[in-house]
Structure 1
Amino acid sequence: MNLLIATATPVLIVIIYIYIKDKYEKESKRVLLVSFLLGAILSIVITTLLYLFFDLFLPLPDNYSIWQQFVKAFFVVALIEEFSKYIMVRYYAQPRKDFNEPFDGIIYAVMVSMGFAAVENLFYVLEGGLEVAAIRAITAIPAHATFAIIMGYYMGKAKFSNNRMKWNLIGLALAVLFHGAYDFFLFIGFIPGISIGAFISLIIGIILSKRAIKAHQEISYFKKIKK
């Protein structure tokens, strides 16, 4: 029970935080739950299948070079995971009529991402225990949230743009960039002190995420007062 609580608590905190930040036009709880479940089930399934594909047909050697760690971080882990979340937002949430303000891109992306993160977190915590849960609560879970906010910010712009593909792909690319940078510095942790790069990229991501939330809140506010 303690492990389940430790697994779920940071995810729940992120969800509540983002839900509160959606100040002006709350989304349907049912749709948010479906988004969460899509991340927890379909995104995990897609990610697992793509990982299996890479392991079978494009395997990396056991002793990775720094370049190979770079490829793994950006073009395997980050790209696969963020793409699996992206398509849930793109094909389930973004076409919906409920997606009626730019901030919705953030909240739907976060819900999908937290579904994914909850399942991933459960596997890690069951294997590593409460110590791993504590570490991931202040690292991996906030990281997944920041990747989602950045991607969702641009997917929110895309919904109301004449060039939807452009903004959607920018959102995906930036999520992959931050996710890849975070993982890369952790993957090459055998270089003394280099892991600090992961926390620097996370801090930058958090700063940009706060700005993204504020920017879309302002758009929602002006939209409300014009009604």
Structure 2
Amino acid sequence: MLSLITAGLAPAIALLFFFYFKDEYEQEPLSSVIRCFLFGALLVFPIMFIQYALMEEGIIKSTFMEAFIQTALIEEFLKWFIVMIAVFHHVHFNQRYDGIVYATAVALGFASAENMLYLISNGLETAFLRALFPVSSHALFGVVMGYYLGCAKFNKKKKVRFLFYSFFFPYLLHSSYNLIFLTQNRWMYFSIPFMIFLWILGIRKVKKANQSQRTFIQKNMAS
């Protein structure tokens, strides 16, 4: 059981600290980050219930509905909702990069709980691929979500637009990710390039968030 818990949690914790320490200016309180991580982990239960109910009611009738509604829409909306109500207006959310930290914490909390449930059902032999694909992808969806939440927090003129982006782009990426695994027999040929794209996109968002904070500090120093 200890090895299963370790295999389930380790990738998420490693990714969370990777993005946490990418903040070049002010790390968030660990208590706030851990709280978001736990909120994300608890999301797995209502999400599983909703997904099960959709299947039982026969609402999901195609692969596209499974990819775009049953999984991506429900998971990304609830993760976005938790970040909005838990930390978006919090005093510690005081720079653009903070959105990345908190959204990634929620995403990885969910991914770790989902991962452990999957490993319990399917065994530890799936742990490496789970870490490489589902856990990493959730982290990167969180990075994109958090980047645009940071933009929304500090750009009142475009707040509504950035809030929309903060849900829509992770949702679109998640749906695309799902389609690869649901429709392609040789999914490895498509999933690896897609994950490379996700990592490039995520790291660019990290750099842009830090650059925005750097520019903000320089302007304040100049004035």
Q: In structure 2, how many angstroms separate the alpha carbons of the residues matched to 1:112 and 1:53? A: 23
Give the ranges of 4+ consecutive aligned residues of structure 1 lying more than 6 Å apart after TM superposition.
none
Q: Which residue of 2 aligns with 1:77?
A: 71
Cα deviation for residue 199 of structure 1 reads 2.7
Q: Deviations over 1:138-168 (max 9, x none)?
A: 1111111111111111111011122322211
Q: Deviations over 1:59-83 (max 9, x none)?
A: 335xxxxxx2122101221011111
Q: CA RMSD in A?
A: 1.6
Q: Which residue of 2 aligns with 1:137?
A: 131
Q: Which residue of 1 aligns with 2:195?
A: 202
The alignment covers a number of residue pairs equal to: 218
Q: Which residue of 2 aligns with 1:28?
A: 29
Partner of 1:21, secondary structure, is coil
Which structure 2 residue ranges, 5 or more long, are not aligned?
Answer: none
Q: In structure 1, how many angstroms separate the alpha carbons of the residues matched to 2:199 and 2:212? A: 20
Partner of 1:60, secondary structure, is coil
Cα deviation for residue 195 of structure 1 reads 4.7
Is contact 2:99-2:150 (8 Å) kept? yes
Q: Which residue of 2 aligns with 1:150?
A: 144
Task: Say which of 78, 88, 105 aligns to 1:111.
Answer: 105
Is contact 1:183-1:198 (8 Å) kept? no
Q: Which residue of 1 aligns with 2:53?
A: 53
Q: In structure 2, how many angstroms separate the alpha carbons of the residues matched to 1:91 and 1:60? A: 29
Cα deviation for residue 46 of structure 1 reads 3.0
Q: Which residue of 2 aligns with 1:5?
A: 6
Q: In structure 2, how many angstroms separate the alpha carbons of the residues matched to 1:123 and 1:138? A: 17
Return the TM-score normalized by structure 1.
Answer: 0.90
Q: Does 1:99 align with 2:99?
A: no
Q: Which residue of 1 aligns with 2:18?
A: 17
Segment drifting more, 47-56 vs 112-121: 47-56
Is contact 1:46-1:84 (8 Å) kept? no
